[in-house]
Structure 1
């Protein structure tokens, strides 16, 4: 997915080629995903752009926008595979060009969702998206207020654009107010805009922090290191316009793409092992020798949970709780009364002897009283096998008489 650096690259090329130009012709076939899921349509987009002059282009994290000479303006998101092509220009970074070999030879390019051209000297622009997770909106507001409207207003500050807002104290307050793995916090666009999977992994590697450690479990020194790493990685990546060929050689980015590939390196050049784990539903690249766990993590919590016995696994499903539901309720009751829940779990009732069960069973007691002719059933214990034998012989003797 294009992240803060790749979006900065798109914005750079749009500013270089579009500002001050008037859009003369627009083609935007309707698409229920690209346009429809954000409340607009292809025809509405065509109408909004035709005849408008582009006066500004900006970005906030993974979003970017074009401000026109009159509203509505457009706010765009590239989704997983979206990109902006300009005819005759190589706007793509190196990895994007590798994935789309031959796409630049045709116009409009493959998977285009809209394209337009400007007045002379003509510039042709196309938005492409093979998987259609991108979004194209129209926002009806004054151009200078575009960040005060949805979807930009719901997103956190951009670490590069909003340096006055994204401070170390801002990050500290966000981390202390949440209880999630630090990698999940970095990916939350409502907290910080623009950090995606590879940027998040690079930041944590540079800060020497483990992605699974909870964000409220870091001290001030760790938070300071994380803040500096965010600024360093984001500013460097944006400065290089997302071109990984220009990234520093000591970055994890240069060695992280080997998962599942034959003969791909699984170590850094210095021999440190690279592993891949899942944090917050996303694959994370980690160097354990550098990113050591120094506090509570999601893995620690998972190990601390009691493991069900084999009998519980057989009698309980995640849809039908059965007897184990009562066990859990018993544990919670024990905790409420100050008793140890562990003790409640391990305590098991002893099996009742057969003779004791028969004494407590009223039916068995009545049979015993009939045979013994004694009013008190408990005075004589029941002995099933011998008594059944005597009962049978007495009946036979009466029948014979």
Structure 2
């Protein structure tokens, strides 16, 4: 699933291709991907332009010259695609906008878990969906405050979008591996020093992933993503990587490196 680093790359891609061009047409092959009717989208997008983008966690907001923001969630397999010829429309480009310059912008979504919506403002959407500040911008004091009085596993908390918007399953595993924290460790048992260590690991993982364009093969060799599978070998200890469920999500960890 596209997480914070992948969506940041999509933001950069859209900024470099699809801004400041008048939208003249919209085509949607599956209305289930639209949170509102297609006519609503056409009303607010046709004859408008994309002005700027903003990302909070896994959500991408596209400011338009109209009254509404376009909100995109990429689901499991979503991604943007900008191209000139209609013949180049990707197989799973279920939503397509056409610009006055003849180019097209498609929302690829093979597994159809992603969606489009319209919003009045980022602040309103953020409040309605209980999103924290983006994990990349999150301040330590706010992170600490979100963990106060929590009594559940740290991995489950990390994936709570009201705590650290943008952190998903693989990122949570990586953050905890870098911080040497067992994913099932209870937040109530974590010292201030340990919480700060998790926070710093989160910031490091985010920046590395963005710098490497979320290409896992380019991550530093000590990153879990290179051996994030059951019975693989831990970089630091040589022990086997184990798998468990935390908060209903498949979780990979090194029991000797991340002692409970």
Say yes or no: TM over 0.5: yes
Structure 1 gap segments, 5+ residues each? 89-104, 260-264, 294-401
Q: Which has the higher contact order (CA 8 A, sep 6+)?
A: 2
Gaps of 5+ in 2: none
Pairing partner for 1:128 from 100, 108, 115: 108
Q: How much has 1:13 moved relative to structure 2?
A: 0.3
Q: Distance in 2 between matches of 1:123 and 1:13?
A: 15
Q: Distance in 1 between matches of 2:235 and 2:29?
A: 49
The counterpart of 1:278, out of the listed 241, 245, 259, is: 245
Q: Are the equivalent residues in 2 in contact too, given 1:168–1:223 (CA < 8 A)?
A: no
Count of matched residue positions in the alignment of Structure 1 and Structure 2: 257
Distance 1:255 1:55 in 2: 41
1:238 matched residue in structure 2: 210
Contact in 2 for aligned 1:30/1:41 (Cα 8 Å)? no
User: Contact 2:45–2:66 at 8 Å: present in 1 too?
Assistant: no
Does residue 155 (structure 1) correspond to residue 135 (structure 2)? The answer is no
Query: SS at 1:233's partner residue?
Result: helix
Q: By how many angstroms is 1:194 displaced?
A: 0.2
1:267 alignment counterpart: 233
**1:4 alignment partner in structure 2:** 4
Residues 61, 122 of structure 2: 8 Å contact kept: no
1:57 aligns with 2:53: yes
Partner of 1:290: 257
Larger radius of gyration: 1
- Cα deviation per residue 1:180-226 (whole Å; 9 max; x = unaligned)? 10000001111110000000000000000001011121011101111
SS of the aligned residue for 1:149 comes to helix
Q: Runs of at least 4 residues of structure 1 off by over 3 A?
A: none
TM-score where L is the length of structure 2: 0.92
Q: Greater share of strand residues, 1 or 2? A: 2
CA distance 1:207–1:242, shift in 2 (3 Å) = same
User: Once the 2 structures are TM-superposed, how far is the Cα of residue 30 of structure 1 from its aligned partner?
Assistant: 4.9
Taking structure 1 as the reference length, the TM-score comes to: 0.61
Supply the RMSD in Å over aligned alpha carbons.
1.9
**Larger helix proportion, structure 1 or 2?**
1
